[in-house]
Structure 1
Amino acid sequence: MIAALVLFPVPAGTTMEQIKEAYELSAPRFTGMPGLLSKHYLFDGAGQGGAFYVWSTRADAEALYTEEWRQSLTQRYGAPPTLSIYEVPVAIDNAAASRTFS
């Protein structure tokens, strides 16, 4: 499993509602994307946005993070994104865990 963290600046004064609207417009592009297990959009409320992705394989992740992708985000947000890719040796998913207690 692969995790990727993408961060980019957003214009000063951007509100949660504005960033949510922008993210919702992009979300359909990722629905059903091969190898993408989940995507979590991020916003710190102070000028930085991004996303945390979980991928099946590094090849799946690298298929998205092309020079065209970088240029598109740079044009949209005015600065290039940062991209960090990590191997995930261990994961915990409490939402999917099923527990029963006596």
Structure 2
Amino acid sequence: MITTITTFVLPKPIALQEAKAIFLSTAPKYQAVPGLLRKCYVLSEDGQTAGGVYLWQRREDAEAMYTDAWRAFVREKYQTEPQVVYFNTPVLVDNGTHEILTDD
């Protein structure tokens, strides 16, 4: 499994409720993305930085998401350039299902 963390510094801070409305407007586009297991939208406490934490089945699935078109979407929606960092995720603790999952 692969975890990616995307972040982007906003041109001006936004409030949590505003961020929630924006995030809800884009959430449906992530429901059918191949290989995407989970996406958590995030907003820093000061409202200056937003982004997402994604859990992917494979790195190739993640790389297929972060295209020039995706970057253009983020630039248009948030007026800023996104940053993407990749992490290997060899073990996942899922308290919702009471499972410990591995990348095997």
* TM-score bracket for this pair, using the shorter chain length: 0.7 to 0.9
Q: How many residues align?
A: 98
- Deviation of 1:78 after TM superposition, in Å, equals 2.1
SS of 1:91's equivalent in the other structure is: strand
Give the conservation status (yes or no) of the 8 Å contact 1:14–1:45.
no
Distance 1:96 1:31 in 2: 20
- Deviation of 1:29 after TM superposition, in Å, equals 0.2
What's the % identity of the aligned pairs?
Answer: 32
- Deviation of 1:17 after TM superposition, in Å, equals 0.8
2:80 matched to 1:79?
Answer: yes
Q: Deviations over 1:28-85 (max 9, x none)?
A: 0011221110000001131011000001111111111012211221232222111001
Q: Larger strand proportion, structure 1 or 2? A: 2
Give the conservation status (yes or no) of the 8 Å contact 1:15–1:45.
no
Larger mean Cα displacement after TM superposition, 11-20 or 54-63: 11-20
Structure whose alpha-carbon radius of gyration is higher: 1
Give the conservation status (yes or no) of the 8 Å contact 2:11–2:80.
no
TM-score normalised according to structure 1 size: 0.87
When the two chains are superposed, the root-mean-square deviation of aligned CA atoms in Å is: 1.4
Distance 2:45 2:22 in 1: 14
Distance 2:93 2:84 in 1: 23
Match of 1:96 in 2: 97
TM-score normalised according to structure 2 size: 0.86
Match of 2:8 in 1: 8
SS of 1:92's equivalent in the other structure is: strand
Distance 2:13 2:53 in 1: 23
Give the conservation status (yes or no) of the 8 Å contact 1:7–1:50.
yes
Match of 2:24 in 1: 24
Match of 1:66 in 2: 67
Distance 1:73 1:93 in 2: 29
Q: Please list every run of 5 or more consecutive structure 2 residues that lacks an aligned counterpart in the other structure.
A: 100-104
**Which amino acid in 2 is paired with 1:51?**
G
